Each structure stands twice: as structure tokens, then as C-alpha cells.
Amino acid sequence: MNIASKNSILSLVIVLMIAGTCIQGCTEQKPVPGTIIDEQPDTQNIPSPSYTTNPGYTLDDARSVNQALLDTIQHELDIIDTGLSNDTAALAKTGLLSEQSLGLIRGVKNHSPYIQSPVLLDTNLKIIAVGSEEYPDIIGSDLSDQPHLNEVLRLKNPVMGNLTSTVEGIPAIPVSYPILVNGSVTGILSILIEQKEIFADAILISDRENRFEEFIMQPDGLILYDKDSIHTGKNIHTEPLYAKNPSFKEIAYRIGDERTGTGTYQMQNISSTNIFTKEAIWNTTGIHGGEWRVVVSRITT
């Protein structure tokens, strides 16, 4: 792990400690700086405890976890944003295809362990350089069909897009930055944020005791990440899996429409006929026009 990532994680842990996010149920064990991403287990397939138990945690407990989760994700997004903003400013000075610019693009991934597939595009939205030397064959690819890239050209501002995938087929979220020279766009620097890893690590930091159910949703109802992997990648509004849970579909519309809120719903356990009443609290994070709903829920009955 690079120094910037270690410092990022250390700063985050200090912020969360000051904010008092260690609520009821925390242990005395503290994270070791620099080991959160590399050494913690993948929690995607750990079942959420509220499917089968009622641990008795309150809405205030859930609110604290939600805020910690929100802060954790936003902190990493801010690091990525600062790094990419500095890179595009430098590219405006060096030119798009100089030796200095190619070195900058290759160094983009050093800003965060969640950055994948940095590429440089011309104003026709064709890839002219890549940050990963193992993918030279994508140079020349035409990405003009991607709406968020066209928005970058139109707005002359950075734009976050909706879920797509890396070259390897890994789900990821694009963020793209214009390179501006005298107020005109001369190119675009674009990256992908690997959604599974950034959300899994943030949940691990924010809910170490696995007390709640958490998921991250696009406003259109697409679940970007859920601790229970069966839900990840499903759209609550259209997925047949949720047909027998109308109140969950109803609250999903509220979550999409309202940037912050609370509400209750009933959910039938997928593996049984048990029906639980749950209370959800949600808030919003994201950058450059992209929004992610961060949802924490607890069982009430």
C-alpha cells in the first residue's frame, strides 16, 4: 500500500474516534494503520444478523453507524477528487501526450487503492493513453456512447457516472475530469472506482460488530453493494426477488427521491417465510453530480 493510502486511513480512523462513532457494542481493539484494506476479511458473504436475530440496537445506534459510513466513503472520495483535480491541472500544462503526462497517468492509481483503469481521452472521446501498461489494446477505443463523458464536454466540469465495469468485468463507477486550457476542454482524464471494495471496506470500518444491515443504492433503485451478496447488482424496482416485499419496494422509491430520511418496511426472509419489520435510516454521499444512498437498517420486530 502506498504512503498516501496509509495516511488516508490513519486520518480517517482519527476522525471517527473524535466523532465518537464507537457506540454500544464496540470492542477495545483498534485498527492498525495501513492494514484495513490489505488484511481485513471480505465481509460480502457474511449474513447480516438482523435476518435472524433482534440484537436490540436503537435508531440512534443506526444513525451513528450511518454517519460513520457516510464519512468514511466521503473521505476516500475527497482524496480521489483532490488527486484527480491536481492531475488534470498538471496535464493542462504538460500537454496530453508528453512523457510527463504519460507518467502522470500511470501514477493516478497511487491516489487510492480503489482507483482502476485510468485513461486519457481526446475531445472525440477516444482513448489516447492508458495508465495501466497491460491494456495497450484499448487505445483508440471510442467511448462517445457514454453519457457522463458527453456531460463532461458540455459542462466543462467533472462528472460521476452510473455503474459500469472495468476491462476485467468488475463492477465500477466512472468519474471523469476535463483538462482545461484557456477555458476549453482539450481532453478528459477518466477513472473507475471499484465499488465492491470501497463499500465493503467502509462498512467494515463503520460497523465492526456487524450489528446492522447496510447497503448502498443509486437513486434509480440499483443496489451497488449489500453485505448479503444476493442483493448486490439488483434493482429493487424491477427485480422479481422483491416482488413479495411491496413495502420494501415502496421505501426504495422514498430512498431514491429523498436524500436523507427514515422509514419502516416489512421484509420476508429470502430463505424462509419469516417476515421482519425493519427501520431504515439513509443519507447521501457522492461527488460531481453522482449520488449514492447510504442505508443502514435494523430489525424492530
Per-residue pLDDT at 270:
65
Predicted confidence (pLDDT) at residue 14 exceeds the cutoff of 60: no
pLDDT at 120 over 90: yes
In the chain, the N- to C-terminal Cα span, in Å, equals 43
Mode of pairing for the β-strands spanning 127-130 and 261-268: unpaired
- List the strands of the sheet with 275-285, edge to edge: 223-226, 213-217, 292-299, 275-285, 261-268
* pLDDT at residue 55 is higher than 90: no
DSSP code of residue 287: S
Q: Measured in whole angstroms, how far is the alpha carbon of residue 56 from the centre of its chain? A: 29
Residues paired with residue 115 on neighbouring β-strands, in sequence order: 193
Please report how many Cα atoms fall inside a 13 Å half-sphere around the Cα of residue 78, on the Cβ side: 11
Q: Are 118 and 132 in contact (CB under 8 A)?
A: yes
pLDDT digits (tens, 9 = 90+) for 230-253: 899 999 999 998 988 999 999 999
Distance CA 202, CA 76 (A): 9
Q: Which amino acid is at 50?
A: S
Q: 121: closest CA among 146, 100, 155?
A: 146
Closest CA to 194 of 41, 37, 2: 37
Q: What mean pLDDT is predicted for residues 7-14?
A: 41
pLDDT of residue 166: 79
Mean pLDDT of 135-153: 92
In angstroms, how far is CA 13 from the centroid of its own chain? Answer: 18
- Answer whether residue 226 shows pLDDT above 50: yes
Going by pLDDT thresholds of 50, 70 and 90, the confidence category of residue 15 is: very low
Task: Judge whether residue 35 has pLDDT over 50.
Answer: no
C-alpha 266/C-alpha 246 separation (Å) is: 8
Tell me the mean pLDDT in the region 254-281: 88
